[in-house]
Amino acid sequence: MSGPIRLEPPDGRDDTLTLRLATESTMTLRLPGQGRTRSGKDAAVDRLAAELAAHIGPAVHAYEVAAVLESEGLTAQRIADEYGHRDLFALAEDLYRRVPRSFPEPPPAADPWAPDPARCALRGALFALPGLAYPLTARLWQSDRAVLALIVAGLVSWAWGQGLGHRAYLRMASGRPEAARTLRAGAPLGALLAFVTGLAIAGPSRAAFFVAGQSCYLAAAGILLVLARERLLLCALTPLMAGAATLPFREPGTVARVGVSVFTLVLVVAAVAHCLREALRQPPASAPVTPRILASLPYGLFGLAAGVLVAFAGQRHPLAVIALTLSMGPAEWLLYRYRGLSVAALRATATPAAFRRRSAAVLGGCLLVYLLALFPAALFTGAEPAPLLALAALLWTALLLQAFGIAWPPAVVSLAAAAAVASTELVAPPPGPLTELLCCSLAALALMGTTLRLLGRPTAHA
């Protein structure tokens, strides 16, 4: 045998000898008595073709075969003596004719949007865990004005945090130090604005201290989430979880209730200080890009609208809102899956129409999985499933569009739905489930249509 022997994997996937040499004109290994018998140099060429079939088959020109032969170290003397050809190119032409063309599919590409299920689940839990502070401290501040102050301050914090988080992610393109500076400057302003808003409602009372604590926590937690320090935030919330776990078994007392909440807040703020200091130690970017402030405006408006819709849903069924908050973890996982499945659909289709159909199926499948996961939770909490699922569909499709940088349509549609639900408060408070169902369903359908139109194009995923 001339040249080195190539060893192929033993699983048979790359064993192309049988497939490539199965025709009458290209058979190199024949059964006894079938066809004419090859011998000598012609048989040696057949054996060489069998050895190199996996490399010759995909070739589009004999020159590629010549390159393979050259890499095998075949000399002109060996080519003439063993294979009966005058030079390397003549042998390459002969091999190219003997082996049929075969173009194997490339190996499956890795999913660039493969989600981390543990991280998504952790983020969903982190959205809900701070709510443990309310049953722990409610007896110390509870009143109608205090509840309203906390809700309004929370809406301000939510809207500000959405806009600030988007701006920080934009600054992250220039480096973590730039994002850290944005968060260091913007988070305290958001906390102050939320506190002043809540103070204007609650007045100088004990509730004002809890409004301040809530505003500080939401600002600090937003920083840790943007900097991807979810585990550190979970560790800082450990005292709060431990304190809330004792409530069904014993009365911790006023000092313990306040102490646990304050200690948790101190830990979270300390974690933020550590993370910012760590990020700011890195060298700054030489030419950082400063995005326009208005680019983050629709994200803040969507945060405000989403907060209003969730607040009204929580008026009748607070436990359903907890379930919706926890579902943000699976929702984030499905956002990643949508992007990964869309990239796979882009590889599997050949026409824009085929991709649009595949994209619609991916969208419907992801949304269906999300709603089916939330449906049992809605039944368990005693809430009407339809309004809660409509709100969940609205939030998920809005977040999907935002993930692709499409911010204004979800902001406008969500604001319209929130305004419609809130306006019914002036007519017949509180708004009934039919009003929420109608408003959220129409908004979700509008966003689904927008998603199919904008994300059903191959260029959106290229």
Q: What is the pLDDT of residue 300?
A: 97
Q: What is the pLDDT of residue 218?
A: 96
Q: What is the pLDDT of residue 335?
A: 96
Place of tokens 């499709």: 397
Say which DSSP state 75 is in: -
Q: Measure Cα distances from 76 to 80, 91, 131, 149, 225 in Å.
A: 6, 10, 80, 90, 66
Helix, coil or strand: residue 404: coil
Q: What is the pLDDT of residue 21?
A: 42
DSSP conformation letters of 160-223: HHHHHHHHHHHHHTT-HHHHHHHHHHHHHHHHHHHHHHHHHHH-SSHHHHHHHHHHHHHHHHHH
Q: Measure Cα distances from 8 to 32, 64, 106, 126, 380 in Å.
A: 26, 20, 17, 50, 57
Per-residue pLDDT of the chain (462 residues), as tens digits, is 333 333 344 444 444 444 444 444 444 443 333 444 455 788 888 889 889 988 898 898 999 999 999 998 888 888 888 888 889 999 999 999 999 988 777 777 778 888 899 999 999 999 999 999 998 888 888 888 888 999 999 999 999 999 999 999 999 988 999 999 999 999 999 999 999 999 999 888 888 999 999 999 999 999 999 999 999 999 999 999 999 999 988 888 889 999 999 999 999 999 999 999 999 998 887 777 788 989 999 999 999 999 999 999 988 888 899 999 999 999 999 999 999 999 999 988 999 999 999 999 999 999 999 999 999 999 998 888 999 999 999 999 999 999 999 999 999 999 999 999 998 877 766 667 888 999 999 999 999 999 999 999 999 987
HSE, side-chain direction, 13 A CA sphere, residue 126: 26
Q: Measure Cα distances from 242 to 135, 146, 238, 252 in Å.
A: 13, 25, 6, 11
Alpha carbon of residue 40 to chain centroid = 62
Q: Are 406 and 306 in contact (CB under 8 A)?
A: no
Tell me how far apart the alpha carbons of residues 232 and 215 are, in angstroms, rounded to a whole number: 19
Q: Exposure string (b/e) for 239-266, b if CB count within 10 Å is 16 or more?
A: bbeebbeeeeeeebeeeebbebbeebbe
Place of tokens 């001339």: 2
Cα dihedral sign for 17, 20, 22, 27? negative
Cα dihedral sign for 454, 456, 457, 462? positive
Alpha carbon of residue 408 to chain centroid = 20
Which H/E stretch holds residue 255?
helix 254-280
Tell me how far apart the alpha carbons of residues 230 and 222 are, in angstroms, rounded to a whole number: 10
Instruction: Using CA atoms of 112, 118, 119, 121 in order, give the dihedral in degrees to the nearest 10.
Output: 120
> Closest Cα to residue 217, out of 237, 247, 197, 200?
237
> Closest Cα to residue 326, out of 397, 384, 270, 378?
378
Tell me how far apart the alpha carbons of residues 143 and 162 are, in angstroms, rounded to a whole number: 28
Q: Exposure string (b/e) for 315-342, b if CB count within 10 Å is 16 or more?
A: ebbeebbbbbbbbbbbbbbbbbbbbbbb
Q: Using a cut of 0.85, tell me whether the model's pTM lies above it.
A: no
Greatest Cα pair distance, the chain, in angstroms, is 105
Token pair belonging to 102: 């075969």
Tell me how far apart the alpha carbons of residues 355 and 460 are, in angstroms, rounded to a whole number: 11
Tell me how far apart the alpha carbons of residues 422 and 435 are, in angstroms, rounded to a whole number: 10
Q: What is the pLDDT of residue 291?
A: 87
